């Protein structure tokens, strides 16, 4: 499949679609998932257009994992989560629904089940407030 420059993440990179950003640098953007599996579910994407891990340059991959590590620490702090799950899916058969490579950062706690992915929209005001809390925790 050829990369679609009109996917929602490409639009967020270009500033054509809104997002509750928690972190941005020259190579990556992190923002809240609007259909979260858990409170604090955050996405990290490279600014380089790549559909999957197989299409991403080594330099962009290095920037992506560095940003993911930094944002995951902020999510853990802001949500007081005892665990953090990272997910990165490649291809529809793996469950990828937006074909721009990205990491999911999902806070986890024992006894709390995950919601289904991409099923229910979050409350936008709550998401905005949590985004500010996570952004403040990025170091």
pLDDT digits (tens, 9 = 90+) for 11-24: 999 999 999 999 99
Domain range enclosing 74: 8-137
Residue 110 has pLDDT above 90, yes or no: no
Catalytic residue, chosen from 27, 41, 100, 102, is 102
- Residue 118 reports pLDDT greater than 70: no
Q: Can you tell me the distance from the alpha carbon of 105 to that of 108, in angstroms, rounded to the nearest whole number?
A: 10
Question: Is residue 74 in a domain?
Answer: yes
Look up 27 and say whether it is catalytic.
no
Task: Name the DSSP letter for residue 6.
Answer: T
Q: How many domains does the chain have?
A: 1
pTM for the model stands at 0.93
DSSP string spanning 97-111?
-SSS--EEEEEE-TT
- What average pLDDT does the segment 25-51 reach? 96
Tell whether 1 is covered by a domain.
no
């Amino acid at each position: 499949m050829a990369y679609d420059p009109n996917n929602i993440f490409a639009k967020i990179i270009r500033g054509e679609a809104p997002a509750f950003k928690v972190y941005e640098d020259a190579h990556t953007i992190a923002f809240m998932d609007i259909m979260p599996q858990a409170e604090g579910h955050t996405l990290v994407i490279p600014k380089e257009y790549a559909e999957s891990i197989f299409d991403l340059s080594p330099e962009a991959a290095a920037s992506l994992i560095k940003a993911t590590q930094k944002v995951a620490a902020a999510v853990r702090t802001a949500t007081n989560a005892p665990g953090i799950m990272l997910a990165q899916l490649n291809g529809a058969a793996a469950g990828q629904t937006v074909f721009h490579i990205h990491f999911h950062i999902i806070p986890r706690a024992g006894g709390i089940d995950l919601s289904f992915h991409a099923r229910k929209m979050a409350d936008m005001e709550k998401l905005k407030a949590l985004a500010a809390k996570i952004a403040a925790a990025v170091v």
